[in-house]
Amino acid sequence: MKRIIKPLIVLTVLFCFLNVTIPVSAHGNQPFHFGFKKSKEGKLPSIAEEGFMDTLQKHEAIFLGNTDKKELYLTFDNGYENGYTARILDVLKEKKVPAAFFVTGHFVQDQPELLKRMAAENHLIGNHSWSHPDMTQVSATQIKEELDKVSQEVSKLTGRQGMRFVRPPRGIFSNRMLDVCRELGYTNVFWSIAYKDWDIKQQKGGSYAYGNVMGQLHPGAVILLHSVSSDNAEALGKIIDDARQKGYEFYSLDTLNVKKYR
């Protein structure tokens, strides 16, 4: 018996120690990074081939609209302000285009007037978490706290009650994380058009942003742009005009019937 009990004690102690540091993914919370091969020549990107489609569909996450129609959904991530959001809002107002802005706690605290303007001009304000953590690595309670704080502060500033849409920070998600967000009443929002636009030290001009977005254009696209990008601010008007010339039109995320397009 001694030969059996001693190893069991050692293993039990070791397990208890490892249980504190073991990755969350080992407990049924495998993280995915939302990435795919970009669309070319109007064809759909490779989202269906990346191994996480079943997880997205299970939780009715948004990443595409109706791919049989030339509809576009414009979304921005607002982690912090870099001086271009007002210009973006000016273009959207001039072109009469709806958008969704996913904001963090930093942006909420730092830019109350821009938030009020987004609401006043009938744009959606989405939840991008308070502190921008990897939400696959925090508890359900912490996820709720992150999202509740953004929602409550935005409500105080804009008068809007509740938030419907959430975008996981850095596009990292898991089955558990998506489920927690849905239980809190959110629709998880990803994208089907994006490019590396968030690095403010590597801006390359409006034509670069224009080429990246227009080169990926496809029916039902959910476009992700970062508002810190000077390139995006410069190119946005021409992107809208030329997309419309190609027969596309822009719609608000809250008009998208997720179940219909599955």
Burial letters 98-131, b for 16+ CB under 10 A, else e: bbbbbbbbbbbeebeebbebbbeeebbbbbbbbe
For residue 26, give every residue at least 6 positions away whose Cβ sits within 8 Å of its Cβ, in sequence order, or none.
none
Does 226 qualify as catalytic in the annotation?
Answer: yes
Residue 185 Rama label (left phi>0; alpha psi -120 to 50; beta): left
Q: Could you say which of 123, 218, 226, 231 is catalytic?
A: 226
Q: Write phi, then psi, for 164 (nearest 5 degrees).
A: -100, -25
Q: Could you say which of 59, 77, 128, 197 is catalytic?
A: 77
Residues serving a catalytic function are: 77, 226
